[in-house]
């Protein structure tokens, strides 16, 4: 099949977009609201966007609490969402009023961050403290606002549970990060493999 956006999803009953762009890492974002109450929510329209310096970004369909707090306070924390915390992550996606502490709602302990004010999820094996560098309303092809917002932040501190460090490297497979796929599907990354680049030193080019 092959269809244009004007034709909806072609013959399909549901849009396969999120199943095609998959798996997506989940930005489990903690922020503080204007009264200092911690907020927590998962965002799979999320990615690392730069390593010079380290920067990450997430997109909110509307101006949800995480996006607004990250824009207003200028700070947010990425918590690594893993298979072990699947249900807590899901619980924190509940749409509740501003001012509800979603750490408590999800039964999670908060731990202080090093540089920014929003706490991290104590049980998450890695977290990236960020300062917001840029935010924008999303525009469509006609230049019309979609209602969505993209937030970008620069990493100012990194937390890693020391048990996940092996030979000086973060052990991604042992952390078992969650990936969001389409529909209600998820993937758990439980194994990785190495592939050297053609230009890597010592690489034999065949
Ligand atoms: C795995 C997962 C990924 C999600 N990704 C997004 C996303 O990328 N953008 C979005 O607007 N909502 C997303 N949601 C829904 C939000 O998490 C949900 O609306 C939540 O209540 C937002 O919380 P907040 O208002 O406290 O920020 C996702 C939900 C789940 C379970």
Q: What tens digit of pLDDT does each residue of 29-76 get?
A: 999 999 999 999 999 999 999 999 999 999 999 999 999 999 999 999
Alpha-carbon span 196 to 198, nearest angstrom: 7
Mean pLDDT of 14-42: 98
Asked whether 29 and 40 are in contact (CB, 8 A), the reply is yes
- Number of domains within the chain: 1
**Which atom of ligand 1 is closest in space to residue 46's alpha carbon?**
8
Is 24 close to ligand 1, i.e. is its CB under 6 Å away?
no
Cis amide leading into 182 (omega within 30): no
109, part of any domain: yes
Q: Residue whose CA is closest, atom 6 of ligand 1? A: 43
Measure 205 CA to ligand 1 centroid, in angstroms. 45
> According to DSSP H, which parts of the chain are helical?
17-20, 65-73, 86-91, 102-105, 172-175
User: What per-residue confidence (pLDDT) applies to 144?
Assistant: 98
Is 42 close to ligand 1, i.e. is its CB under 6 Å away?
yes
31, part of any domain: yes
Q: What is the CATH number of the domain that holds 38?
A: 2.30.110.10
The domain containing residue 116 runs over which residues?
A: 23-188
1, part of any domain: no
**Among 88, 93, 95, 121, residue to substitute to test ligand 1 (most atoms within 8 Å of Cβ):** 93
Is 33 close to ligand 1, i.e. is its CB under 6 Å away?
no
117, part of any domain: yes
């Amino acid at each position: 099949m092959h269809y244009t956006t004007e034709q909806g999803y072609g013959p399909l009953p549901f849009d396969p977009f999120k199943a095609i762009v998959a798996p997506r890492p989940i930005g489990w974002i903690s922020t503080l609201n204007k009264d200092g109450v911690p907020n927590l929510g998962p965002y799979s329209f999320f990615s690392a966007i730069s390593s010079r310096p380290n920067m990450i970004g997430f997109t909110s369909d509307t101006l949800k609490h995480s996006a607004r707090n990250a824009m207003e306070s200028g700070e947010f924390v990425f918590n690594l969402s893993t298979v072990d915390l699947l249900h807590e992550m899901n619980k924190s996606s509940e749409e509740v009023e501003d001012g509800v502490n979603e750490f408590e709602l999800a039964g999670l302990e908060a731990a202080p961050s090093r540089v920014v004010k929003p706490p991290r999820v104590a049980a998450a094996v890695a977290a990236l403290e960020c300062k917001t560098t840029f935010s924008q309303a999303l525009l469509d092809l006609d230049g019309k606002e979609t209602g969505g917002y993209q937030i970008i932040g620069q990493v100012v501190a990194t937390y890693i549970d020391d048990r996940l460090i092996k030979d000086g490297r973060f052990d991604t497979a042992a952390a078992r990060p969650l990936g969001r796929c389409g529909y209600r599907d998820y993937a758990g990354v439980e194994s990785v493999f190495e592939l050297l680049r053609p230009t890597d030193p010592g690489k034999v080019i065949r």
